[in-house]
Amino acid sequence: MDISQELREQLLVYQKNEITEHHIYQRLARAIKSPENRRVLGKIADDELRHYRAWRSYTQQDVEPDKLKIWRYYLISRIFGFTFGVKLMEAGEEDAQDSYEQLPGTIPEAEAIIRDENEHENALIELLDEERLRYVGSIVLGLNDALVELTGALAGLTLALQDTKLIALTGSITGIAAALSMGASQYLSTKSEETVKNPVRASMYTGGAYVVTVLILILPYLILENFYVCLGCTLTAAVLIIAFFNYYISVAQDVPFKRRFLEMAGLSLGVTALSFLVGLLIRTFLGVDV
């Protein structure tokens, strides 16, 4: 079938996308231990290769994959989880899928490929089962509690103590003790529920999320001298943590980002403002001067 030069160039772009995604899915499939997840990713990799060959039958030209993109999404998937990496990649390909809609009139196979891209692959992706996403509730519990409690505590301590090292020491002790308490509570809570989640792992995800958040929020007080600047850096870090985590969840679990982000950020910053006021009142009325 003769095709125009413009259509040929367009199909070559599609080919490059398909062969690149084939290699990404194939590499992820080899790296995953779960047989079911390996099967799902292998099936998607085969579909991408089939799409590549369909486009090649019209262009009669082989195309090299985008090696930088392969490594980028492979590393993202290994660091943040393959479900996040795969869904992030698929979200980035929506424009390419929309442009497929223009092809059925000239390319007979286009309709079948569109169906695969819009339905079949999305259905397969929903079959992926990743441990860390089963424990998102535990991570949210640890992260949210750490952000709300520690930003509030640090705001109050900043006004009451006005000494960065003392604030860092007090905040660290408070944060680590709270992390251990949260982990223990999550263990007992999960153990009492009828759930497939492992109580030990649930407690580790909760406590781990809490400890990591504590370390990030305390860090400015360990490296800077001005306690007000430290508080500003801590609040900025808290908002960035909230933004990143909610973006991660919005991609991995297909949930809205904006509402969850505003709710979590508003709660954390609201508690911080109240705690800052409490610290000011205590310092003023009790005449505390450290």
Distances (CA, A) of 55 to 6, 16, 19, 110: 14, 10, 11, 9
Question: Mean pLDDT, the chain, as a whole number?
Answer: 81
Helix and strand counts by DSSP (H, E) for the chain: 13, 0
Q: Give one DSSP letter per residue of 119-161, joined into a string.
A: IIHHHHHHT---HHHHTHHHHHHHHHHHHHHHHHHHHHHHHHH
Over residues 24-29, the mean pLDDT reads: 89
Over residues 49-70, the mean pLDDT reads: 89
DSSP class of residue 170 equals: H
The pLDDT tens digits for 161-214 are 788 888 899 888 888 888 888 888 888 888 887 677 788 888 888 888 889 989
Check residue 2 and give its pLDDT.
65
Label residue 118 by pLDDT band (50, 70, 90): low
Q: Which of 134, 117, 155 has its CA nearest to residue 279? A: 155
CA distance 268 to 203: 22
Give the helix, strand, coil percentages of the chain, each rounded to 5.
Answer: 80, 0, 20
Share of the chain above pLDDT 90, in %: 12
Over residues 57-86, the mean pLDDT reads: 88
Our CA dihedral for 24, 96, 259, 196, rounded to 10 degrees, sits at: -40
Q: Where are the domains of the chain?
A: 5-129, 132-285
Label residue 135 by pLDDT band (50, 70, 90): confident
The pLDDT tens digits for 72-97 are 999 988 888 888 888 888 776 655 55
Label residue 287 by pLDDT band (50, 70, 90): low
Contact 252, 133 (CB under 8 A): yes
Label residue 229 by pLDDT band (50, 70, 90): very high
The pLDDT tens digits for 248-259 are 888 877 778 888
CA distance 156 to 272: 8
Q: Which residues of 12-34 are buried (b: 16+ CB within 10 A; e: fewer)?
A: bebbbbbbbbbbbbbbbbeebee
Q: Which residues of 132-151 are buried (b: 16+ CB within 10 A; e: fewer)?
A: ebbbbebbbbbbbbbbbbbb
